[in-house]
Amino acid sequence: MNWISNYVRPTINSLFSRREVPENLWTKCPECGTMLFHRELADNLNVCTNCDHHMAITPRMRFQAMFDGGVFNEVSVPEAVVDPLQFRDQKKYPDRLRAAQKSTGEKEAMLVAEGEMARTPVVMAAQDFAFMAGSMGMYVGNAIVAAAERAVELKRPLVLFSAAGGARMQEGILSLMQMPRTTVAVQMLKDAGLPYIVVLTHPTTGGVTASYAMLGDVHISEPNALICFAGPRVIEQTIREKLPEGFQRAEYLLDHGMLDRVTHRKALREELVTILRMMTGQPPAVKADLPAPTPEPAPVTPPAP
Ligand SMILES: [Zn+2]
């Protein structure tokens, strides 16, 4: 034993083991197979720099990219009753919920926020596909109602980013009840004369397409997003026919009058600002990222005589 094995080696070992290597330093593009460095990918809003494939993006990241300076306030959403049906498949429903909360770091599948986009006040809601496939349960219903109520209260437009596998089967009929419930919430916006814009992202399916995701004044989609009620596999098995190329994808739906626009993720912010300002009768934004205007100098009070 000498000082090299007793002191130097442990020191070197501890130095190396302490250095944390992030697990997902590289992400493989599922479309073209290119290995993408995580920071570069995040800077590009999770769009492949090689083939423009739009990967999933978290609601928080979405809000940061949309709001001025990435600044927003979360709108609180009333809690929902947890596991009212005591549902259990291979796992208990509360266990599934906990696992999703742990992996996403979010409480539930929808996040609501308020803030400004190019000085345009707006309320936004975004669905998280990573959280139990973004499924629409009572909490998501609560979130949409809260978003609509907040928009009406502040007299602001609502922009909603949808991404969902449909209703949350663990909540049975109670999740289906969110379809009429969110429809009423959207109607509240229409009664108040406020714009409601839906950005459909990959994938938006099932009961979500049958309710709030298809009730917008304007429907925008990200490129190549799957948007449908029943998926292509189910339809193919039912009608026993081969479906056309690109069936139920954003571009196909645009061609068939189901969507108004298909917009690249990086162009979304500017496009939303233009549409919102047009619909609310505001002059066009000068530039998307204007700095905060300097406050007007305080009026100089004339000296007392
Ligand atoms: Zn790619």
pLDDT at 144: 98
pLDDT for 40-83, tens place per residue? Answer: 999 999 999 999 999 999 999 999 999 999 999 999 999 999 99
SS (H, E, C) 20-75: CCCCCCEEECCCCCCEEEHHHHHHCCCECCCCCCECCCCHHHHHHHHCHHHCCEEC
The answer to whether residue 188 scores a pLDDT higher than 70 is yes
> Residues of the chain with pLDDT > 90: what percent?
83
CA 41–ligand 1 middle distance (angstroms): 11
> 186 with 196: CB under 8 angstroms?
yes
Region 241-270: mean pLDDT is 95
CA 49–ligand 1 middle distance (angstroms): 7
pLDDT at 286: 77
pLDDT at 288: 47
CA 31–ligand 1 middle distance (angstroms): 5
> 172 with 211: CB under 8 angstroms?
no
> 141 with 98: CB under 8 angstroms?
no
When the pLDDT of each residue in the chain is averaged and rounded to a whole number, the result is 90
pLDDT at 179: 97
Indicate if the alpha-carbon torsion angle 182, 278, 126, 249 is positive or negative. positive
Residues 138-147 as b or e (16 or more Cβ within 10 Å = b): bbbbbbbbbb
pLDDT for 227-255, tens place per residue? Answer: 999 988 899 999 999 999 899 999 999 99
**Which residues does 279 contact at the CB level (< 8 Å), separation at least 6?**
157, 195, 217, 218
CA 36–ligand 1 middle distance (angstroms): 9
Q: How many CB atoms lie within 10 A of CB 183?
A: 14
CA 58–ligand 1 middle distance (angstroms): 19
Q: Ligand 1 (ion): which residues have CB within 5 A?
A: 29, 31-32, 34, 48, 50-51, 53
